[in-house]
Structure 1
Amino acid sequence: MEDEEFSERPGFLKKIGNFFSLLDSEIIFLHMRFVKNILDRESQAREQGLIAKRLRFETVGAFIIWLVALPCHASKYSTHKYKQAFVRFVISAVLAFLPMTLLSVFVDQVCPSYKEFFKDNIFIVWTVMTVLSLLFFVKFGLVLIRIVSCLLLLAILIASLAFTGDRSPETRSVICIVIEVVVGVFFLLWNFWPKEKMQEDVEAEEDFED
């Protein structure tokens, strides 16, 4: 049904959808290749004895490999299922602090009478947010990687302002706001623009989210 609706759209709208579909494919491919390469390096380091049991590291490089590989165990490429579940939970628990903080600010500003109730039940709120974050992490992995990609792009663009000549603080603030708005709009278009689902894209997305 979605493909039929997509085929009925004007040509230039199809091209935009095809662009975002291609972008998804490239991002998923880069993500999977990076994760698999890091996990392979960790496995090699363990086989060589550079990473021993009880987290004993023979070299600084081995420690860096382990540190970078740790979040990668949330991926489907991890052969350690218990570690995969643990890492996914930890990432979700950390991500839960963002919506919990936003909710706390909302309660303070809009419903101050519930401020004490919110603080008294902060652990329950954090638990609920963690579960929701875990569901989002597992079911909407592609959305998460789009967010991370756009945040990385935003960081690069804003950091580049430091090397583009002298500007007043006011001018820099305006440029930063423009960049943030542009990247934000780009993310919304990338995430919600109708795309044609090719079979290989569907399989890649399913592998990514697993």
Structure 2
Amino acid sequence: MIPLTRDRVPGVLVFDVNETLTDMSPLAGRLEDVGLPGHVLPTWFAGVLRDGVALTLAGGWAAFADIAADGLRTLLARLAPTADPERAVAHVLDAFPQLPVHPDVVEGVRALHEAGHRLLTLTNGSAATTRAVLDRAGLTDCFEALLDVQEPRAWKPSPAAYAHAVRTAGVPAAEAMLVAVHPWDIDGAARAGLATAWVRREPGPYPSTMRPADITAAGVADLAR
């Protein structure tokens, strides 16, 4: 791999949203509100990603909210069987548009935008939710497109998802860079021909079985620098 330099960084940056831009920790409180332990948040979210990707691999499709709701119903049946499941599900999922961005995101996104990079988002979640989050953070005008996987009907890391992003941007894959916190997303984008930047928000190592990122940064502001 030829190392990226300042002159070779792609002009189009495609941002993952959940956990990359958004701080999902407030969801733990919503889980506790409905009788679930807050510590199941990572397990639940990983299960949502697993089931969405599994459906894509099998040639199926379902939206993020529907899969997330199914996972919550299962957890409620096991751990909080006295709860009203539909009301509980709505209470948790309604928090997504209200999630804050990580503290480094505002500075980093604005710096990248002001430096002339074209910014897009690509989420397995909802573009409408992304817009609500970015509106609250005052960042919507920094992004030229807010994308989800509804149109390709394929969850990341399917090549079709990344193809949707670069097609929207009107550039070849090699002229775009995915920015994400999840190594599986980085690996998928790299296999689809994009450059990649791993936002390392946790101290764990990058998996040796996946294609490495071109750039590693501690946050979005660090990436901009």
What range is the shorter-chain TM-score in?
under 0.3
Q: Which has the higher helix share?
A: 1
Greater relative CO, 1 or 2 (CA 8 Å, sep 6+): 1
- TM-score computed with the length of structure 1 as normaliser: 0.28
- TM-score computed with the length of structure 2 as normaliser: 0.26
Q: Which has the higher strand share?
A: 2
